[in-house]
A and B are shown apart, each in its own frame.
Chain A
Amino acid sequence: MAKIIIDRERCKGCELCTLICPQKIIVMSKSFNKKSYHPAELMNPEKCTGCAFCAMTCPDVAIEVYK
Chain B
Amino acid sequence: MGVKKLMKQVFTKPKSLTDVPFTYCPGCHHGIIHRLVAEAMDDLNIAEDTIGIAPVGCAVFAYLFFECDMIVAAHGRAPAIATGIKRVKPDNIVFTYQGDGDLASIGTAEIVHAANRGEKITVIFVNNAIYGMTGGQMAPTTLEGQITQTSPYGRDSKTMGMPIRICELLSTLNSPAYIARVALTKPAYIVKAKKAIKKAFQYQLDGKGFALVEVLSTCPTSWGLSPKEANEWLNEKMIPYYPLGEFKNVEEVS
Structural contact, A64 and B26, CB atoms closer than 8 A:
no
Let me know if B4 and A16 touch, CB within 8 A.
no
Interface contact A66-B31, CB-CB below 8 Å: no
Task: Give chain A residues whose Cβ lies under 8 Å from the Cβ of B28.
Answer: 59
* Chain A nearest CB, measured from B238 CB (Å): 17
B12-68: which residues lie under 8 A (CB-CB) from chain A?
12-13, 17, 21-22, 24-32, 35
Could you tell me if A15 and B227 are in contact, using CB atoms closer than 8 angstroms? yes
Interface residues on A, range: 20 to 34
Q: Which 4 A-B pairs have the closest CB atoms?
A: A59-B31, A14-B27, A65-B11, A12-B26
Interface size on B, residues (CB 8 A): 31
Q: Given the complex, which residues of A lie within 8 Å of B10, measured CB to CB?
A: 50, 52, 65-67
Task: Provide the bound-state CA to CA distance between A37 and B227, in Å.
Answer: 14
User: Do B11 and A16 touch across chains, with their CB atoms under 8 A apart?
Assistant: no
Instruction: Look across to chain B and name the residue whose beta carbon is closest to the beta carbon of A9.
Output: B21
- Give A13 to B26 CA distance when docked, in angstroms: 7
Question: Does more than half of chain B's interface fall in helix, strand or loop, or is it mixed?
Answer: mixed
Ordered by A's residue number, 10 sampled pairs between the chains whose C-beta atoms are within 8 Å are A3-B4, A14-B227, A19-B231, A52-B10, A56-B32, A57-B184, A60-B31, A64-B9, A65-B12, A66-B10
Contact status A16-B8, CB under 8 Å: no
State whether A59 touches B29 (Cβ < 8 A).
Answer: yes
Report A-chain residues with C-beta under 8 Å of the C-beta of B190: 56-57
Q: How far is the CA of A51 from the CA of B186 in the complex (A)?
A: 13
Question: Closest chain A residue to B6 by CB distance?
Answer: A1
Across-interface contacts of B21 in A (CB, < 8 A): 10, 60
- Is B237 close to A, CB under 8 A? no
Minimal beta-carbon separation of B229 from chain A (angstroms): 11
Interface contacts beyond A1-B3, A1-B7, A56-B191: sample of 6 additional A-B pairs, CB < 8 Å, sorted by A: A19-B228, A61-B22, A61-B35, A64-B9, A65-B9, A65-B12
